[in-house]
Amino acid sequence: MPSSLTLLVTGLSTGLLAGGASCAAVQGGLLAGAVTRRSPATSTPAPAMAGARPASPGGARPSKPKRAPAAAPAPEPKALVPVGAFLAGKLVSHTLLGALLGIFGDALQPSPRARAVMLIVSAVLMLLFALDLFGVKAVARLVPRPPASFGRVLRRSAKTDSMATPALIGLATVLVPCGVTLSVELIAVTSGSPVAGAAVMAGFVVGTAPLFTALGYLFRRTSRALSGRLAVVTGVVVLAVALWTAASGLQAGGWASFTTNETAAVAAPTPAGSQGPATDQELPAEEAPVRIDTAGKQIVTLTVTDFYEPTAFTAKAGVPTTLVLRGKDSGGCARAFTIPELGVQEIVKRDGDTEIDLGTRKPGTLRFSCAMGMQTGSINFKEGA
């Protein structure tokens, strides 16, 4: 079981490297709405005239009226204050969710393919959000909307320019997860601990904070310039992320592979202790990616850093096989390892080996991936390989 500190670092690195862009695309509209609220409208009375005097009975001309000095506009709140309130609300809701997922991990833990379906459903929702931002009326009724009462609360807060509005919107982002968030939620579930689950989700939000802060500051300062274009720009980004999330879901479920730069393991199964070269680089047999040990068991070794190395193996069918996940300073989403076809999901050790019994495989391809389908690979079992 990974420690809470390890999961905090995992969430932080995932949010910093991948979650910021993905979640900003999905939640950018919420962020913009939270930080670009208008100041309350005030009526503009007719300017008071100083020094005006009524005409005298004798018809004397009144003195020339003078305008009273205009009242100084109320100072706008500091640009980063609403951004901070938004991020604080987001941190609270995601940390609480992580704790709940840790508590109910055993009961709530989805299979890899169930999670892949969740990713695809998330992609469909993002597609609807994008089309709605483009003004497509046909999808207006299909887009999930917050309750009317929630909208009234936001409007009342906006009228007073209260910091409660961005905080409430930040809290609500837990209901609009991006694909990367779903992956981190899986890690929180598999942690089986409320403290560890809260740690990984809190670390994730902190990791996304720098990009959200920069975007929030930009929205706050340029809201008038972007007001007519923000919906379209956000829609384009959300559409792109929807397609990316759908592809990730298909890969996470093992139904498709869009990876074109697979690094193949060129080793053939080699009996341990043989003198022949195991690979083109002449690795010792015991270090070959695919080998047969002295007991006749086939060992397939996958090195896990922030990536998978190699990403393609050729192994022998009909032989008892063990997959070894060799963590070498592993981090990020690569640690959440899955084999969708077998329902396998493991958190790889940061440094050390994790063994998975694959049984005796028939000829065919067995796909594996990280929990969010971004990193994939395969083991091709062949007769007489």
For residue 175, the number of C-alpha atoms closer than 13 Å in the C-beta half-sphere is: 10
Residue type at position 162: S
Judge contact between 98 and 199, C-beta under 8 A: yes
Structural domain containing residue 356: 285-382
* Intervals of the chain under pLDDT 50: 1, 38-56, 71-77, 158, 224-225, 227, 266-267, 269, 272-282
The answer to the question of residue 263 being in a domain is no
Q: pTM for this structure? A: 0.64
| 252 token code pair | 């996470």
Judge contact between 290 and 265, C-beta under 8 A: yes
Q: Does 295 share its domain with 147?
A: no
Where is the domain boundary, 252, 274, 303?
A: 252
Domain count along the chain: 2
Q: Does 223 share its domain with 169?
A: yes
Q: Does 321 share its domain with 242?
A: no
335: DSSP letter: G
pLDDT in tens, 82-108: 888 888 999 999 999 999 988 877 676
Q: Does 82 share its domain with 226?
A: yes
Q: Does 195 share its domain with 325?
A: no
The answer to the question of residue 166 being in a domain is yes
The answer to the question of residue 65 being in a domain is no
The answer to the question of residue 103 being in a domain is yes
Question: What pLDDT score was predicted for residue 353?
Answer: 95
321 beta partners: 298, 359
Task: List CB contacts of 175: < 8 A, sequence separation 6 or more.
Answer: none
Q: Does 85 share its domain with 225?
A: yes
The answer to the question of residue 48 being in a domain is no
140 beta partners: none
Taking alpha carbons only, the member of 87, 298, 304 closest to residue 174 is 87
The answer to the question of residue 133 being in a domain is yes
The answer to the question of residue 200 being in a domain is yes
Q: Does 15 share its domain with 131?
A: yes
Question: What pLDDT score was predicted for residue 236?
Answer: 79
Q: Does 24 share its domain with 150?
A: yes
The answer to the question of residue 345 being in a domain is yes
Q: Does 378 share its domain with 329?
A: yes
Where is the domain boundary, 252, 270, 300?
A: 252
Q: Does 31 share its domain with 116?
A: yes
Q: Does 233 share its domain with 117?
A: yes
Start-to-end Cα distance in the chain:
36
CA-only gyration radius of the chain, Å: 29
Q: Does 157 share its domain with 297?
A: no
pLDDT in tens, 317-355: 999 999 999 999 887 778 889 999 999 989 899 899 999
Identify the CATH number of the domain in which residue 332 sits: 2.60.40.420
